[in-house]
Structure 1
Amino acid sequence: MSLTSSPFPPIADYAFLSNCHTGALVAPDGSVDWLCVPAFDSPSVFGNLLDRGAGSFRFGPYGINVPTARNYVPGTNVMTTTWHTPGGWLLVHDALTMGPRRGPDTVTPHTRPPTDDDGEHLLVRTVECLEGSVEIELVCEPAFDYGREPAEWTLIDGDGHAADATGAGSTIRLSTDLSIGIEQGSARARHVLTQGERAFCSLSWAEGLAAPTDTDDASARIDTTVRFWRSWLARARIPDHSLRHPVERAALTIKGLTYMPTGATVAALTTSLPETPGGERNWDYRYTWMRDSTFTLQALHFLLLDWEADEFMQFVADVEPTEDGSLQIMYGIDGRRDLTESTRDELSGYEGAHPVRIGNGAFDQRQNDVYGAVLDSLLLHTRRSRHLPRRLWPLVQSQAAGAVAAWRDPDQGIWEARGKPQHYVSSKLMCWVALDRAAKLAGIRGDDKLQASWHETAEEIRADILANGVSDRGVLRQHYDTDALDASTLLAPLFGFLPGSDERIRNTVDAISSELTENGFVLRYVTDETDDGLSGKEGTFLICSFWLVSALTMVGEMRRATDLMERLLRVASPLGLYAEEFEVDRARHLGNFPQAFSHLALIEAAGRIILADRLEEWSG
């Protein structure tokens, strides 16, 4: 909990809710400060996260803003908050509810096969007085289109228990068993609960604005949502190990960032949470990066979540390639290609960080690592399913051809630098991955000619990297024209480019561990040594620290690996979540939240430690 006077809660203090269509962030005081409907990348209706006047929705005790305890219902993305007030004790449940499928989804139409359960397009909140008496308040103040349009409210029944908020061409319905009053752009209610009494409220953007009928119905929907998440988690393979609970929370977070209608996964729930406090490194991460695909597939297959893996792979197969046959580095969650970036200059930004961006201008950048990410994913999936679908073979051919054509060219690199293109080692490495995996896929298909050709090119790329991408001290460089370090070179052992026993890998791991860290946490690169087109320092990157854990296991440094893993687990948010970065000096999370990449890398690092521990047990 922050002790500063900032009106913005610390990023890590937010609770994450999801219905696999969209997500919400709930502040410690019980305010929903971020919700986009009906989908992750829709305009926000509650945007207090980026401007304290851009919409919020509080349901909790009147006059008390600091809760006693906040927890997820174990094994779920359903939140509970316990409040102690001068008059008594209160328990709040919050959920974006899941329920049995009741026909086609007309709100967010599906392109994937229907499942038994789906998002209900409802935010449901219940309260129960546990002891004494507590005055509760409901304050719902939407501001549509990222805060641009205050709500126009209309009471829709005679007894004042439901009201519709309209703005920017959208309507959402607030329902409750409390009596609603309208005050300009907000709907309000207050009521005293005594021991054993309950109340509810809900927000609906479902077809027909369907909503719970009463508190029993609302509680039943939350119970159904709890069962959904626990049933889903029961399908995952998570060994009985000290790392089990962090892996479970990471898995639930990744599932929560999955867009069920298409199988896509968003990189994060939010836009424009700053990487540099008060600075300009603010990006919109509510899209699907092809780079994430291989890490997503690795995590899902490690957890035996093969259905989700197949859904994501089918999404990749569906997206439209560019004119030269390559895939963009990112797509909209519906597969759209145009993610043109704009700014909302009227918003203050989180703690004054400007600008607030909508869209992502990097969508049409040249980043040559995309070929390797896609083809590694295809090989992982093919080996797991023991089947290469006919519709995916053209994708193998096009991505391999793209890597053959592009690997000699400079690009913007894995970190999407907005400086001039360079010969980034990680990009060359991922082109090697592309041709290495393509050759293996051709072998599975029985195409000996393509297998030989692609393998030959892979070896040519490997030789080029080892000739130009290694410094005089035997360490992998950031790019060919510098000796600067870059944490992305940790991918070399992770993708099998060189074995962990290779001296160049050991040198690289040791150099990054000692020279590219702040108090042991890993930076992407030193901003003063890298032309990324931006100003300002950034925090340590959590994914890079988890990559270092994995790399340390691969070079046999298990004690160092487990020590770093323990430190990373200790800096998780109070609810076990991770943003993109960690600012060491102030011990706080930075960047968009929760960040899929951080949780995917946690699962991989944990998996490598668990495997090493099991092998040690079996060897006696």
Structure 2
Amino acid sequence: MTSVLNRQPDTMPQSAAMPSPFPPIEDYAFLSNCHTGALVATDGSVDWLCVPSFDSPSVFGSLLDRQAGNFRFGPYGVDHPVNRHYEPGTLVMRTTYRTPTGWVVVRDALTVYPRTEPDEVTKHTRPPTDEDADHMLVRTIECIEGRVEVEVICEPIFDYGRAPAQWEFAEGGSHLADATGGGVTIRMASDIALGIEGERLRGRHVLNIGESAFCALSWAKGLRTPADVTEATARLDATAHWWRTWLAVARIPDHRWREMLQRSALTVKGLTYMPTGATVAAATTSLPETPGGERNWDYRYTWMRDSTFTLQALHWLNLDWEADEFMQFIADLEPSEDGSLQIMYGIDGRRDLSESTLDDLTGYAGARPVRVGNGAYDQKQNDVFGAVLDSILLHTQRSQRLPRRLWPVVQSQAERATAVWREPDQGIWEARGEPQHYVSSKLMSWVAMDRAAKLAALRGSPDLAVTWQATAEEIRADILEHGVSPAGVFRQHYHTDALDASTLLAALFGFLPATDERLHKTVNAIADNLTENGFVLRYRTEETDDGMSGKEGTFLICSFWLVSGLAIVGEAQRARDLMEKLLKVASPLGLYAEEFDTETGRHLGNFPQAFSHLALIEAAARIILTERIQELS
């Protein structure tokens, strides 16, 4: 029976901190091999893993339903670690537990290893690298004091919790077992003796001081696995070395924010799909933007609007290889029938991302529906042209050449922007209400034509440069006539005076000089009137027809955009203060979801979110650059 004291009125919104069997989103660790990602809870349970790719059906789905499969490796009967951190410069997790009888350390990673043969698990369209994913989740445990009983519990439920595993022992007897379901087979290997209990695999073993054990889950070719704990440790060490070697190339300034910049760089890299060069928006689907609500989306795809922010961050960090890989992915994409690029694509470049719901899953803390696919993929969003062309210009200026295969993309996107910029669309936030003349879409249309003109000039096409720049100036005049309120502040769209954080793009993309009064007023209006406890909302849901119900949390990308906007208009100290505030609300492992609930201090939305980390890098870069210039003056 529910206690009267615990019963809440039906009309009371669900709190993000409501007692729940679901761990807080920000407590998860993120693992990646740049093919797929895993989320690991503090108790050592892998609650989310899709194989072989980010957007494959889940094998472990407890993130979205506590009965949808998980994989725990850790001390028996102890769920709360005393310490948990990434090994510095890596996405290898190290977790220390204290038990009544001793201490153990667990290491976890989706491993990367020297490549000895072509990858037949995932198709590569980019050049193979010397090291690549070996399609394993490797875990070791070492007793560092006393004696500790450890356990392995592996209960995969394939196809998003719809296909329970059928287990059978392989040739390794009780140390090697295969699970099959939903047309997928995975193999568990361990030096701990395992037993099949219905749909799960289980093992228990006592470790004394100095002793170690391992378990590894494989979906590799031939289901290969480590032979023993020595090989398992070697794969973990090789993975840590690979991450550190990669990070060593990145240009990370010696600054008080260095660690957060490194963690954001590692996270963005971890969200890249190495076979094609694409970047997923997040590793998950359907983590709620509103606690218990319906604002639940699948973010395991690549958005064109992310492209310019991705290129800015990668080039600023000196990660030119990754930037080029992403540009080649864009060049490979198939446009729509009218010649424009879609707003998003699958990480393999596919166009059809039809959305469906998984009605058998409870959703994270009751947030339903759980969605697979994203119905916004065929929406009309005019900001896509500017994002693509700005990214091509950034890349061209960095490399000092415009790749031949990208010029047709420039032409087609400029032509489509010219044709449609006057029309309403769904806007940057993919509103599911009526199309509007969103100011951010007009701003990005201006970006499209301004960057197209610059690219034409670089290519040696002066007539096109003049034509396209004239269109850019026509768009600018239209925005300044219709997109600015009587108070001198940029509107959300032409038929409202409501604020929208996306108008901060006017500052970020140089639409007006930094000294322009309208830019100052817009940045300050958002800082003063579109925030909760200093954190920025996308817009006020009660003022916006977005086709959904429920309130949202503050959007972390918008808050980082405000940092950049404040820095651009000369509010340096206010920018630094907000940046410090944002850095303090990172997860314990330095990660960010999409949103932040200022009332509870909890993260909301899909996790980890590439957009949040990309915006962090840009905001930090603007402040650091300002500080360095001041040092020289």
TM bucket by the smaller chain? over 0.9
Q: Give the C-alpha shift of residue 395 in structure 1.
A: 0.5
Q: Deviations over 1:197-222 (max 9, x none)?
A: 00000000000001100000000000
1:254 is matched with 268
2:312 is matched with 298
Q: Give the C-alpha shift of residue 351 in structure 1.
A: 0.2
Equivalent pair of 2:68/2:157 in contact (CA under 8 Å):
yes
Q: What does 1:360-379 align with in structure 2 at a 5 Å threshold?
A: 360-379=374-393
In the alignment of these two chains, the number of paired residues is: 618
Tell me if 1:465 matches 2:479.
yes
1:135 is matched with 149
Equivalent pair of 2:214/2:229 in contact (CA under 8 Å):
yes
Q: Which secondary structure does the structure 2 equivalent of 1:433 belong to?
A: helix
1:115 is matched with 129
Q: Which secondary structure does the structure 1 equivalent of 2:174 belong to?
A: coil
Identity of aligned residues (%): 73
Within the candidate set 159, 175, 183, 1:161 is matched to 175
Tell me if 1:487 matches 2:501.
yes
Q: Give the C-alpha shift of residue 114 in structure 1.
A: 1.0
Which runs of 5 or more residues in structure 2 are unaligned? 1-15
Q: Deviations over 1:335-375 (max 9, x none)?
A: 00000000000000000000000000000000000000000
Q: Which secondary structure does the structure 2 equivalent of 1:467 belong to?
A: helix
Q: Give the C-alpha shift of residue 229 in structure 1.
A: 0.1
Tell me if 1:517 matches 2:542.
no
2:363 is matched with 349
Q: Deviations over 1:554-580 (max 9, x none)?
A: 011111000000000000000000000
Equivalent pair of 2:17/2:600 in contact (CA under 8 Å):
no
Tell me if 1:239 matches 2:245.
no
Q: What does 1:177-196 align with in structure 2 at a 5 Å threshold?
A: 177-196=191-210
Q: What does 1:84-483 align with in structure 2 at a 5 Å threshold?
A: 84-157=98-171, 159-483=173-497
2:10 is matched with none
2:611 is matched with 597
Q: Deviations over 1:516-573 (max 9, x none)?
A: 0000000000000000000000000000000000000001111100000000000000
Which stretches of structure 1, 4 residues or more, deviate above 2 A after TM superposition? 2-5
For residues 331 and 240 of structure 1, the distance between their equivalents in structure 2, rounded to whole angstroms, comes to 37
Supply the AA of the counterpart residue of 1:177.
D
For residues 560 and 17 of structure 2, the distance between their equivalents in structure 1, rounded to whole angstroms, comes to 29
Q: Give the C-alpha shift of residue 596 in structure 1.
A: 0.3
For residues 82 and 406 of structure 2, the distance between their equivalents in structure 1, rounded to whole angstroms, comes to 52
Supply the AA of the counterpart residue of 2:53.
A
For residues 480 and 257 of structure 2, the distance between their equivalents in structure 1, rounded to whole angstroms, comes to 36
For residues 113 and 66 of structure 1, the distance between their equivalents in structure 2, rounded to whole angstroms, comes to 42
For residues 345 and 307 of structure 1, the distance between their equivalents in structure 2, rounded to whole angstroms, comes to 41
Which runs of 5 or more residues in structure 1 are unaligned? none
Supply the AA of the counterpart residue of 1:12.
E
Q: Give the C-alpha shift of residue 246 in structure 1.
A: 0.4
Q: Give the C-alpha shift of residue 3 in structure 1.
A: 7.7
For residues 114 and 135 of structure 1, the distance between their equivalents in structure 2, rounded to whole angstroms, comes to 42
Supply the AA of the counterpart residue of 2:307.
S
Q: Deviations over 1:46-88 (max 9, x none)?
A: 0000000000000000000111110000000000000000000
Supply the AA of the counterpart residue of 1:86.
P
Q: Give the C-alpha shift of residue 5 in structure 1.
A: 3.1
Q: Give the C-alpha shift of residue 500 in structure 1.
A: 1.6
Structure 1 length-normalised TM = 0.99
Q: Give the C-alpha shift of residue 157 in structure 1.
A: 2.7
Within the candidate set 540, 555, 558, 1:544 is matched to 558
Q: Give the C-alpha shift of residue 159 in structure 1.
A: 3.6
Supply the AA of the counterpart residue of 2:562.
L
Task: Name which of structure 1's ranges 4-13 and 298-307 shifts more when overlaid on structure 2.
Answer: 4-13
Equivalent pair of 2:17/2:602 in contact (CA under 8 Å):
no
For residues 266 and 310 of structure 2, the distance between their equivalents in structure 1, rounded to whole angstroms, comes to 13
Tell me how large the CA RMSD over aligned residues is: 0.7
1:573 is matched with 587
Q: Give the C-alpha shift of residue 4 in structure 1.
A: 5.3
2:94 is matched with 80
Q: Deviations over 1:85-142 (max 9, x none)?
A: 0000000000000011112110001000111110110000000000000000000000
Structure 2 length-normalised TM = 0.97
Supply the AA of the counterpart residue of 1:112.
R
Q: Which secondary structure does the structure 2 equivalent of 1:174 belong to?
A: strand
